[in-house]
Structure 1
């Protein structure tokens, strides 16, 4: 990679140019920007034969840290642009998706990973945990609009809030997979005592602490920014976005909780302070620009990795394709419809929310983080990277083509849950 550094920068320049001109040149075509950038990366990876192979097994640390930054910025952007008040009636669809749909996805994919791909128990649970959460980065185009613009319907709000929270809530199951793999690597059995320790620490403590840290950071920072002492002072939105992100994430990780939860909750708590203030719009614009630039680099590299795999003749069995389409076309939609059943929402809204479960960069982060712990066999690692990469690739194209039509179906059908 580094011996081709200048050429790689040139290719990144083209990827950024695509992002800048996309709204003008491709607005009439049924494609999304991620589709375009991944396709460009695949072409480069397939034909640029002098490029060193982007091996995820040997570059796991780089993948983990790069995708971590992108997801963090995306979580802040998602939290800042939510206008919906914090009421149970409006957030109930989100809670149901988190408590019903996500576990269905985790355990169904774990079952398929164990029996279809022959993964170990820990690796199978990891497969379910990394694929179950929807992605806040690639889902940006189907989320709510900027703050205080009135472009927030039930469908977009539910998809935005789900993507913001389930990235953090998937972490307990990632840790469960790691602990099972660690126990078996040391010749032990994962017993009830280990399970109780996981539940009390990785589920109860880390989730609760992450919520508390997020609320405190968001409220304290909002109190500072919107105080009478700062009125009339031009405070850089860039500094505030980065401070909000790193303070919430850093404090949460310091007290051994979930930083992803803390960051999204901090952004929502900040947003609920001085809701009508125009400063929120400035913060959103900076976060959105930063997210788009970082996303372009990662998608380009991901596409190049896929192209190199195709060029080198990586074997993809029929099971990979069947499981990938089964998960995206059946498991997620069925799980979503089960979770949303009984709610006073239009059928088209339920269908759109259930279908648009985009998988993306969050999956790459979780997978690289878990594998970097060193407890999973190499054979399992290869299978996990292959399956997850194909699911993400299929999701980018499938949801990129279907999202505009699905969202258009819900445009003229306001949810009965939303206030008039």
Structure 2
């Protein structure tokens, strides 16, 4: 019976993946909102009493499904970004300034803010740190309404022939949120490991040295380098191989995106690095190798479809779990922490990060005050948070407690609803402001 239900949910997800984008049109609804609601309705039906919906009992399945969903989303995000990244050039660093600020300032502040709320609510230090790490990263899966579209591959002529014509490239808010979501899923891992180390009870000094030297710096560097290397090798074959049979881009075979995803992730993990960062770095490197080629769009379309299917499946199951006991352990502390993150901690941390010596508006990487407010607020939480909690629960028994699952589940659903309701009006307001001519 359980296997039959899985097939039913998978079939419903596939059907909805096809129908929802066009059916919703300009309604004040997003696909995640609809999917969670449908899942809750399905969960309220007379399902078998022995249906295994306990998150801790299904921890391994949750970990692997959400991991795959995030990996596919990261590949899609990396392929979609048109803005070049060259750390050696000041102009490139400035163009990416909002992303660095959201990663280097807003994310640590969000982790600290949630951890302090957890400590105030009576959580053990390791559990409070874990909750901050789990809920801090923004999500590349559910944030499609505030992200750039697919890669711009339209060829231009004349003096600009060495670049692609931008589509969403100049939308600073969408670019900042997209790049942030692509990078901070991997950068949350060091803080998850910090919680694991604290839970292990090692000496504080030794734990700090190990965490900074290996988990923060070492594994991050390995992940990025592995992703860059795999992306470079695959791009050489796809676009510039001597043998025509190896120039996959000329044949337009989009499944190379899946091969790149698995190869970069596997290489980084085997070497001990962060696979999430490797996948994003691989996609960015591959994208930079030949920006004008239509092959990028073909790859992105395949990844986008896979991402949509897996996301809808996860959300349907999450909705079912909501009405089948997921929130039983939720109390005022979980509600306060979840809403505090969405409505206070992330907006304040994001606005502070984007307001300290910012790039002037009008320049690449510059944000107006309204744009800073929008980028700070729309830090969508989602599938990545579920993955990190499932992973940590497999490392430390105390991290599998029902209260943590209830709190994280509540926060994800609250983010889906709050951000889903407000994203349309907020982005429309920004677009109207941009169309108003300067006085």
**TM-score, with normalisation over the residues of structure 1?**
0.92
Aligned in 2, Cα 1:57/1:7: closer, same or farther, shift over 3 Å?
closer
The corresponding residue for 1:181 is 199
Deviation, 1:49, is 3.5
1:292 pairs with 2:325: no
In the other structure, the counterpart of 2:2 is 4
Shift of 1:235: 4.6
d(CA) in 1 for partners of 2:342 and 2:270?
Answer: 36
Q: How far has the Cα of 1:373 moved from its partner?
A: 1.1
Alpha-carbon separation, structure 1, partners of 2:351 and 2:371: 10
Distance 2:267 2:67 in 1: 16
The yes-or-no answer on 1:394 pairing with 2:414 is yes
1:168 deviation in Å?
Answer: 0.5
Give secondary structure in 1 for the equivalent of 2:398. Answer: coil
Q: Which residue of 2 aligns with 1:144?
A: 148
Contact map agreement 2:227 2:282 (CA 8 A) in 1: yes
User: Does 1:241 pair with 2:254?
Assistant: no
Write out aligned runs for 1:22-41 (5 A). 22-41=20-39
Where does residue 115 of structure 2 map in the other structure? 110
- In the other structure, the counterpart of 2:94 is 89
1:215 counterpart residue number: 228
Q: For residues 277 and 14 of structure 2, what CA distance do their matches in structure 1 show?
A: 30
Q: Is the 8 A contact 1:80 1:271 kept in 2?
A: yes
> Does the CA-based 8 Å contact 1:136-1:163 persist in structure 2?
yes
User: In structure 2, which of residues 268, 277, 282 is the aligned counterpart of residue 261 of structure 1?
Assistant: 277
Structure 2 length normalisation: TM-score? Answer: 0.88
| Cα deviations by residue, 1:314-361 (Å, 9 ceiling, x for unpaired) | 253223222221110110000000000032211111111101000000
Partner of 2:295: 279
Match in the other structure for 2:431: 411
Root-mean-square deviation (CA, aligned residues, Å) is 1.8
Q: What does the per-residue CA deviation read over 1:9-57, in whole Å, with 9 as the maximum and x for residues that have no partner? A: 2343233322222233221320100111111111111223315141111
Distance 1:395 1:190 in 2: 37
Distance in 2 (CA, whole Å) between partners of 1:4 and 1:171 is 33
- Deviation string 1:227-265 (CA, Å, 9 cap, x unpaired) is 153358415211x11111111111111111111011101
| Unaligned ranges ≥5, structure 1 | 184-188, 416-420
Q: Describe the shift of the 1:84–1:412 C-alpha distance in structure 2 as closer, same or farther (beyond 3 A).
A: farther
CA distance in 1: counterparts of 2:371 and 2:47, whole angstroms = 46
Query: Contact (CA 8 Å) 2:62, 2:387: kept in 1 or not?
Result: yes
Cα distance, 1:77 vs structure 2: 0.2
Partners of 1:288 and 1:320 in 2: CA distance: 33
Q: Distance in 2 between matches of 1:90 and 1:103?
A: 22
Larger mean Cα displacement after TM superposition, 147-156 or 250-259: 147-156
* Counterparts of 2:118 and 2:44, CA distance in 1: 28
